[in-house]
C-alpha cells in the first residue's frame, strides 16, 4: 500500500514536516529597515 511506503520513507511526523516545508517561504522581503532598527534599541 502507498500509505505504508510513505510511512517508511518519512516516519511518524516526517510527512507533515515535508508538507509544511512547502508552505514556508524561501525568501522574506522587507522594504524598510525599521524592523531591525527597533529590535536593536531594545537590546
Do 18 and 10 touch, CB atoms closer than 8 A?
A: yes
* pLDDT values of the chain reduced to their tens digit, one per residue, 43 residues: 677 777 788 888 888 888 899 999 999 888 888 877 766 555 5
- pLDDT value for 24: 92
How many domains, in total, are found in the chain?
1
- pLDDT value for 20: 92
Give the domain extent around 32: 2-42
- pLDDT value for 23: 93
Q: How far apart are CA 40 and CA 43, in angstroms?
A: 5
- pLDDT value for 42: 54
- pLDDT value for 13: 86
Amino acid at each position: 500500500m502507498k500509505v505504508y511506503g510513505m510511512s517508511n520513507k518519512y516516519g511518524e511526523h516526517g510527512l507533515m514536516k515535508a508538507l509544511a516545508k512547502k508552505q514556508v517561504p524561501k525568501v522574506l522581503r522587507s522594504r524598510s529597515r525599521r524592523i531591525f532598527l527597533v529590535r536593536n534599541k531594545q537590546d
